[in-house]
Amino acid sequence: MKKIILNISLIASLLLFQSFINENPLVEEKSVVTNSKIVWKGYKVTGSHEGTIDLKSGSLTFEDEKLTGGEFVLDMTSIKCTDLSEDYAPKLEGHLKSEDFFSTDTYPTAKLKITKAKSSGKNTYKVKADITIKEITKSIKFDVSVYGKKATASLTIDRTDFNVKYGSGSYFDGLKDKLIYDDFDIVIDLEF
């Protein structure tokens, strides 16, 4: 009789544990700072420039191995230009950090927080996020691919949404070959 009661108790405990697991999915937060890379590219009438921005902090959140969120802080003081020589790159970097562009003395970081991630195929997600630059927050949508311990995304951002208007044809006339397009691209390669 004791064996029957013990077996029934064991089965009930296992069922209760399984029910707990099903109701409480495995949630993991994975750091993405080490070995991750963020590349920017800006466009002007006469060409383009590109470079990097360091990730100050960041993590992706997974629930049952599915992407559900993430939060990132970019170190805007780390803006580097990689397509110009050592003589010209510091000039562009200084200009991008100045009041004309990202005002990094006043706004040293930018933030991106994933507010929604929906699977759109094997290893791909449609993501909605809030991006904050110069303390102005806007919603943005983009695709994320997750494979193994890596995630990639490409974003196109309108800089004028964040009060970065220098050289913008949307705000100034007669710029001719000094015109800088409003949209710039960011390519994010994360490792976790």
Give 87-136 pLDDT, tens digit per residue. Answer: 999 999 999 999 999 999 999 999 999 999 999 999 999 999 999 999 99
- State the Cα–Cα distance between residues 51 and 41, nearest whole angstrom: 7
Give 6-44 pLDDT, tens digit per residue. Answer: 445 445 454 444 544 445 568 999 998 889 999 999 999
Prediction pTM value:
0.84
Look at domain 26-191 and name its CATH class: mainly beta
Residue 177 is classified by DSSP as: G
Q: Is 84 exposed, middle or buried (0-12, 13-18, 19+ CB in 10 A)?
A: middle
Tokens of 55: 């990730």
Neighbours of 30 (CB within 10 A): 15
Q: How far apart are the first and last CA of the chain?
A: 53
Pairing between β-strand 66-81 and β-strand 124-133 as defined by DSSP bridges: unpaired
Tokens of 191: 């490792």
